[in-house]
Amino acid sequence: MVIQTIVPISKETIDEYVAQAAKAAGYDKGFGIPDCDLSKPIWWAAYCRQSLDQQVNNNRLPEYLLTLAYMAKEQGITVPLEYVFYDHETGEHLERPGMMHLRKLMAERRISGIIFPALDRLSREPLHQQIFELEAEHHEVKLLYADVPSGMDPGSQFARTILCACG
C-alpha cells in the first residue's frame, strides 16, 4: 500500500502563481500588489480554496488566480498581495484559516470588497454562503463572484442559494 502525503502549496509558490496570473491578465499594477498601506480600507481581497482531494487530483489554483486577476482588472479594483487568500481545506465549514482572516478584515471594516472565482470556492453549503453574505452586507463589504449573479437583490440571492444547494 502506498500512502500519499498531501503537501500544501507553499507561500512562495502561491505568490509566484499570483504574479503569473496578474501578468497574464495584464493587470500586474492592480492584482497581487506587494507593500500596500493596509491601514486604508480601500483595498479588495481575493479568496480561493481547494479541498484536499482536489489538490491531489488537479491543482486548479493557477486557474482560480487568473480568473481573480481578470475580475480585478475588469472591475478596476486593487488587491494587495497580502489580501490574496488561499485555503487548502474542505468547503463544508467556514472555519478555514484564510476565511477566518477574511471575516476578521470584514468585521474591522478594513476591506471594501471580496472577489471569488466561483461560488463553490466560498462554500458548498447554502447556509454558510448565506451567513457569510449577511456578514458582508452588515459590514458594507461588496462581494463579486465570477460564475453567478453578485447582486444583493432577492433574485440574485435566490439564484446563488439554489446554485449552492445544487452544486
**Measured over all CA atoms, what is the biggest interatomic distance in the chain, rounded to whole angstroms?**
53
Residue 39 lies in a domain: yes
> What's the grid cell of residue 16?
509566484
Looking at residue 27, what is its pLDDT? 97
Residue 1 lies in a domain: no
Residue 97 lies in a domain: yes
Residue 27 lies in a domain: yes
Residue 106 lies in a domain: yes
Looking at residue 7, what is its pLDDT? 59
Looking at residue 1, what is its pLDDT? 42
How far is it, in rounded angstroms, from Cα 65 to Cα 69? 6
Looking at residue 139, what is its pLDDT? 96
Looking at residue 9, what is its pLDDT? 81
One DSSP character per residue, 95-154 reads: --HHHHHHHHHHHTT--SEEEES-HHHH-S-HHHHHHHHHHHHHTT-EEEESSS----SH
Per-residue pLDDT of the chain (167 residues; tens, 9 = 90+): 444 445 578 889 999 999 999 999 999 999 999 999 999 999 999 999 987 765 546 788 999 999 999 999 999 999 999 999 999 888 888 899 999 999 999 999 999 999 999 888 888 788 888 899 999 999 999 999 997 767 777 776 666 676 666 65
What domain count does the chain have?
A: 1
Looking at residue 93, what is its pLDDT? 85
Looking at residue 164, what is its pLDDT? 65
> What's the grid cell of residue 21?
496570473
Residue 2 lies in a domain: no
Residue 18 lies in a domain: yes
Chain position carrying cell 475588469: 74
Residue 134 lies in a domain: yes
Looking at residue 86, what is its pLDDT? 93
Domain CATH code at residue 108:
3.40.50.1390
How far is it, in rounded angstroms, from Cα 107 to Cα 101? 10
What is the value of pTM for the model shown? 0.87
Are residues 122 and 161 in contact, defined by beta-carbon separation less than 8 angstroms? no
What range does the domain containing 24 cover? 11-166
How far is it, in rounded angstroms, from Cα 52 to Cα 56? 7
Looking at residue 29, what is its pLDDT? 92
